[in-house]
Structure 1
Amino acid sequence: MLRLCGLQFLLLIHSAVWLHLECLSVSGPLKDMDFNVQEGGGPRILHQFTLEPPAVSFRASGEKAGIIDIDPKTGILYINGSLDWETKQVHKLQVESVDESGSRVKGPYAVTIYVEDINDNPPEFNQTEYKGVVRQNSRPGKPFMYVYATDRDDPKTPHAQLSYSILHHFPKYFEEMLFQIDNATGAISPTKTGSYYLDPLKQDTFTLVVSVKDMGGMTTNAFASSVDVVITVMESLWKAPPTIHIKENSTQVHPVNITKVQSNEPDVIYDLFEKEKLPRLPFSVSEDGTIYVTEPLDREEKDMYTFYVVSKDSTGELVEKPLQIQVIVEDINDNPPVCQQDLTVVEVQENEKGGSNIGTVLATDMDEKGSLNSRLRFQIQSQEPQYPSGSLFYIQQDTGTLQLTGPSLSKRDSAKYSLTVLVSDPDFKTICDVEVHVIDINDQIPIFEKSDYDSVTLSENTPVGTVILEIQATDGDEPATGSSLIVYQMKEGDPNNTFIIETDSETNRGFVKINKALDFEAMPVYNLVINATNPEPLVQGVQYNESSLATFKVFVTNVDEPPVFQKPVYKTEVSEDIPVNTLVMTVEAYDPEGDSVRYSLEGDVRKWLRIDSVTGQVYTASLLDREKEEIYSIEVAVSELNNAAQKSKAFLVLQLRDVNDNHPQIATDNPTFFCYPVSGGEKTLIQAIDADELLFYSKFTFSLADEMNARNNWEISKYNATHAYLSPKHGNFEEKVYDVPIILNDNGEPPLENKVNLKVSICKCSTENSCFIEIDRQHSWPTAGQAIGILLGVLLIIGLEQRTQKFATSIARQSPRVTSWCHSKGPSFQLFNCQTKPQSYRSVPQQGTILSA
């Protein structure tokens, strides 16, 4: 193998050129070979073929481009120069070996050299300068011209991947660019700002400097070229017309040409669409952009239309942005005045002065508001009756306000006047009917039929709502009006509104009723003064006098009433540990007649309280106990000293506050046991309870007493605030009942401690972790035969399966002792409660049943 390295290898070729070589360490026999060679780079060795006798040399032919050859003696294939991808991308040669006589030994073999491209060509624009035309108001993003550049490098590589951008923008009088370019296609279009602001009257020419880079423009060593793009702004023909005015109810033949729009683009398609949803759009557009109104318009139906006209190309894409068309419908006088009421009724008092405004005739016109077409004028055409004058009324011609022209009206002359009012606009007339009612004035006062209604005597227990007197006054004004309606009131003698007077509006008769309970002790006699008035004010110069007043006396007689408590419920809160004879509250009552009263307690079943019969002071009579009753409710009675039948009652409620006076205990609802023999790891859950309020036993501590070797045999671990686990510390337990001394502490103030001996059974268990308990027959237990009968009867009742029945038979065979069975799923026939072993450390013990024979 030939090994050539660095700058030291010298080949004397036909041109006698020293080759600048890189390290060559590849050689081999003659065969077909392919080489990838990067263009440029200068002379280089590609490969060395080895001679195989009888061959003594090599020769090459083919596309050698004058710089590719093989040294005949050494077999070195080399390039004496630089390849150019842009000139030729593939060179194909044939290499063979020959002997001394020049005859071929091996070959020819194909040697192919693929030239790899490098980025050695900058992009070039296809023009030295570009010119384009953009139309004013062109749609943003729609291209109006393109620039194009090419790159001689390999298009399959990033070397020829081009990216366009705008370097400069002249002139630039906005911060935002007016033009944009697609970096991939070279398409130039107006930006949103440009679409809005391009105007040939302000600036008709712009110059853009557009750059193109190869390598996708993503590297700093990419080649770049630039070119000037001169853009001329052309005025747009696509402009919205000014607001269009159309008179309503036109008699022209429709459709009528109203305006025209035009696009700079040829062959566009015009179309209309609504700004708001209408039942129909009475406009159309023709192929040449002419807009028509298709039917007569009615301003009273719609006074303005706003819609858009668009231009589209053959694909349906918008060519320009939509133009807004606004049409105002002009009014003509085509609506007559309309009376707002079929009949306008005006009321006038008799004493109304001349010139007073007495009402308004209202009318409307649907023509345009504020125009002459809707201007209305009013005129009185007739008056009936024309007594005492034919011109009693005047109407303001522009407002419709009615006025009296002369002296006051008199109901004696006429109670009603009928007017016809002519209402007109410039072209139409309408008649509105008016009635003027003359109202009687309140010039008569009510007069009582008698001024003194004597007196009445009532017991103080007369029911509220009782009518005690009927009164009557008359009024000379017009009936069924505010001038003649009478309102009765207590003017004097009733400061507490004990009485009320209701009026019959048809007869003006008054009914005096009791409004509040009478009280002889508070008010034995009422000297009442009643006045009669009208809801309508009296006319000037007329006043109420003594004729509108009446007197009446009410005598109240006494009725013996029971005593009255100051409050219906007396409630207090005390601590449960207060001493006997402690004052807890005082109740108060009085007798309406002033008699002495006596107090007593009723319903004090626990005998906790006593009451001083004279003062009403309530004391504790014995020690209280919140654990028996937290809220102690009884009744307190009060009666007259001389008449015990006159008695009243109130509630007395004692709320007891808890003190920590109960020691914690172990809940013993279920026996505690472990299966014999003890294997270790067993746990059972025990629970602490306390009769005190939750505040004092919401948290317990469990520990073992230092006695009976408890701490060597047992262990206690916390489960939660009220439960703990008890577990044996070893397996050396006998089959018997153990007393486990446990110390419990609550969290009261002060805390209480209690030592409890918990009985724990170590017993044999069934396969279902149920405990067998042997029971001595000598304590009056049933015989074996009786046990069989009892057990079989129970099993028949609960319907246990055959497996359970066989188990019962085996129990009956045991003698002289009979074993009881504890199971967590026992029947309802219970003699004792039993506790099964928890299935897991987190489970709370289940309850079961002991069956014994």
Structure 2
Amino acid sequence: MREGTAERGRGQRRPMLLPFLLPLFCPTLSEQIRYKIPEEMPTGSVVGNLAKDLGFSVQELPTRKLRISSEKPYFSVSSESGELLVSSRLDREQICGKKLMCALEFEAVAENPLNFYHLSVELEDINDHTPKFAHTSFELQISESSKPGTRFILGSAHDADIGTNSLQNYQLSPNDHFSLVNKEKSDGSKYPEMILKTALDREKQKLYHLTLTALDFGHPPLNSTAQIQVLVTDANDNPPVFSQDIYRVSLPENVYPGTTVLRVVATDQDEGVNSEITFSFSEAGQVTQFNLDSNTGEITTLHTLDFEEVKEYSLVLEAKDGGGMIAQCTVEIEVLDENDNVPEVLFQSLPDLIMEDAEPGTYIALLKTRDKDSGRNGEVICKLEGGAPFKILTSSGNTYKLVTDGVLDREQNPEYNITIRATDKGDPPLSSSSSVTLHIGDVNDNAPVFTKVSYLVHVAENNPPGASIAQVSASDPDLGANGQVTYYIIASDLEPESLWSYVTINAQSGVLFAQRAFDHEQLRSFQLTLQARDHGSPTLSANVSMRLLVGDRNDNAPRVLYPTLEPDGSALFDMVPRSAEPGYLVTKVVAVDADSGHNAWLSYHVLQASDPGLFSLGLRTGEVRTARALGDRDSARQRLLVAVRDGGQPPLSATATLHLIFADSLQEVLPDLSDDPLPPDPQSELQFYLVVALALISVLFLLAVILAIALRLRHSSSRKAWGCFQSEVVVPPNYSEGTLPYSYNLCAAEFNSLTCNDQLKSGQDLQFADSAGALFPLCNSNESTSHQQAPPNTDWRFSQAQRPGTSGSQNGDETGTWPNNQFDTEMLQAMILASASEAADGSSTLGGGAGTMGLSARYGPQFTLQHVPDYRQNVYIPGSNATLTNAAGKRDGKAPAGGNGNKKKSGKKEKK
């Protein structure tokens, strides 16, 4: 505890520190800091150095924001020096009245951190009030019969000061007949009584002028005077006498106006007019709460009483008889307190925001209770209503602290409406409540949360670049920057340097944009990791995965794998036995589509046919089968134009042309190829004839010359030798189903032994040149063409990597692929050509073997049909789990001896 005094007269303060209490100091200074100053100090006067007494340095004053919390602004704190200053007039008499101890109690509040300090400033009385009489002059009638020693009560003066500064003494001007005695009431106030020293003689002097002086003992002393005029009257020997010198009565403050307080009684032993008594207040002007009946002496209330304003009334009554003699008595009325004032709750230093991370026990605000009643009626108990995470702690007297009592969460409760009820201890108790709204401040304690655990986005291919393809959204319940979310792409299964060429994201809206057109055939899906990040400090974030699936569009037309044109433009043909029965599998159109799903489901349709009723086409398989047996009037050469359509919307298509020849052996086909061209296409034939008709007249002569030359050449050369070089026969590897994606060139002229012998006799080897210019022998000088053939070259056998595979195979896997290099192709052509030579020599038949296509048995089992896979049995349809199959058992059981479905190549290019 600290005390300080300040004296107004000398303008200096003497701090009186109690050394023995210094060890009891604590950081919060829960004890009061006391100062003592004189009243009426000028505004701005220094009471004491509050900052120093609280242990604050001048440097921390701006941050601590020391201020005064008080109902009335009597004091303030200098923000620069921390001194406690007087900010308004301090009138002790107005503030405390007649109280001996006048102290102003209030709190000093310091922030950062929040704390409260209790202060008490005691006001010392100064002699600033002069004693004053109610009347500056009054008249006193004294009968000449009055005996010496008779006492007369004079009017008293009033001094608002206390102690030595209050009224202390009365003095009477010097005279021979009267003296003055100072009397004291029970409440400590003094009044004068004048005593008759010697008898009066009206005949000698009937009027006396006296001066009554009231003095106090202040520094300097003050006084006032009143003039007394003593009028000597004829004898009235007996003055009125009250039954009591002092009347005491207690009166509740809640009595109604007009209530009788008491009745005074006075008697006079005289008779007649001298015994008639009237009652009056000696200071009628100062009595406003009571009424006195002048005849009966009954005192009643004029207005309601208020204990909080005046606790006690002291009334001086006079009884005057008809002879002018006066008697006085004192009536003391004590006002009893009633519980008629409701307690109040006042909030001090209420903050604007309470941060949600405030720990339990954090000081929030200072509360004060006020009840004008006294005693138990003025004792107040505060309670916090509701389940808010706060509590109140008693600080001192009528001061309470509001502190946190739990964890705050702004996202669950952004504000609390708390109610504090104050109840006094009166009977019956009175109570009131005060409510206040506490706003909770936000801290960044919540990470963003995505609306979905993961995202699956479907994007159709060929999308326009820059289009939005998806949007992610994350919420953050925090406020302001703590809840402002931005989005980023932090990871992907794409290459980091190419990621931004595929997608970008808008950081504010979370919209994902495509930077390029996607291609389902190149990229079907990719994975992204997105992050939502707030702007709090520290920053919080959350991640989510997104998978983008590129949907297929029908942007790829079917591609025909078989039949196809040779590099030189020649078309393949398929050979059908003349004895083929209905349902015989002639060939198969093989096509693929790079799209997926329904866009890759293929259907096969006949657009044009030489004989529409002769063949049937599988809608889904592409298999060409005979619909009926070949008739005598049917042409041996047939042509089918097949359209392959996919299942897309709109559908895309491709066409394939099939050339079919009915023959039982290859020898039967070769002359027909050179002499009988395939039936022309009607549309192509029409165009052809139109051109011929226009040029017919101009070329007749030229045709005649050419025909003559042709006939001459025909008679002079071997028909068989011409056949070797006029036609090219396409013979695929020995394949039972007759559907192949590739073709091979073969010279199948009917070389007889003489032709080879003629070559040998001329000393030349018969050789065949492939398309690359490499030569390989068909006959040589060291071998007999009629009986001997060169042993097979084991290097021509298919390796595991060269064996034909399925139509969907594109890599050299273990299933094997068709030879796709020119050298392997030419070797296979030479082998087939050698087989054709054997047929010419009669050593082997072209259709002799069911599985060898007429090849000699000495060429080994590597050329049997079981080593050539069926491409129709494993046709993969992209986008589906289905594989179109056609097992060997589904074929017609009767395979003619000519070799099933052997493929040929027309020597003339087909017009489309």
TM-score after normalising by structure 2: 0.24
**Structure with larger Rg:** 2
Q: Which one has more relative contact order, counting CA pairs under 8 Å at least 6 apart?
A: 2
